[in-house]
Structure 1
Amino acid sequence: MDPMVHDMPTLFAQLGLPNDADSLRRFIDSHTLRDGMALADAPFWNASQASFLRESLRDDAAWSETIDQLDVLLRQ
C-alpha cells in the first residue's frame, strides 16, 4: 500500500517545482500545451521531469491521474 498523497502540490514537489498554491497557479497560467503535444514533450520540462511524467503515464503509476489533471489544466 502506498500511503503517499498524489495530489497536485505533491506532484509539483516530485518534479522539483515550487508547490504552494500561488506557484501552481502561476505555472499553469504561464505554460500551455499545443494541440497534439504530449505533456512530457513540452519544452518547459527538463529531461528528468519529462522522463518522470512519461514513465508514470506509461506504467499507469499512482501519479497518472494527477498528471492527467495537469495535462488538462495546461490545455485550457
Structure 2
Amino acid sequence: MEAPMHSMNSLFDQLGLPSEALAIEEFIEEHAPLDSGTALPEAGFWTASQSAFLREKLMEDADWAEVIDELNAELHFRLED
C-alpha cells in the first residue's frame, strides 16, 4: 500500500495555520528567507507544538516529510525581490 501524499494546504491545516493558497504564499513571503543555519523546526515563528510536529515527522521520515521538505526549501531558498 502506498503512503498518502500530503499537500502544502494539508500541512498548514495540520499546523493550525490558514491553508488557502494566498495565505500560504503570504506566510512564506513573511518568513523567508530563513538563515541557512536555522533548521525549519527551530525557526522562531513556530509554536512549541508546531515545532515538535515538524521535528517528529522529519525524524520519523513520515509521510509528512516530503511536504515539510518542500516548505523548508521554500523558506530557506526563496529569493528576496
Give the TM-score band, short-chain normalised. over 0.9
Give the C-alpha shift of residue 36 in structure 1. 1.5
Cα displacement string for residues 49-69 of structure 1 (whole angstroms, at most 9, x for unaligned residues): 000000000000000000000
Q: Secondary structure at the match of 1:74?
A: helix
Task: List 4+ stretches of structure 1 deviating above 2 A.
Answer: 1-5
CA RMSD, 1 decimal: 1.4
2:57 maps to amino acid = S
Aligned to 1:56: 57
Aligned to 1:72: 73
Distance (whole Å) between structure 2 residues aligned to residue 39 and residue 17 of structure 1: 16
Does structure 1 retain, via aligned residues, the 8 Å contact 2:5–2:63? no
2:24 maps to amino acid = L
Does structure 1 retain, via aligned residues, the 8 Å contact 2:54–2:68? yes
Aligned to 2:7: 7
Unaligned segments of structure 2, at least 5 residues:
none
Task: Return the TM-score normalized by structure 2.
Answer: 0.87
Aligned length: 76
Using a 3 Å threshold, how does the CA distance of structure 1 residues 38 and 8 change in structure 2: closer, same or farther? same
Identity level (%): 49
1:24 maps to amino acid = I
Does structure 1 retain, via aligned residues, the 8 Å contact 2:10–2:19? yes
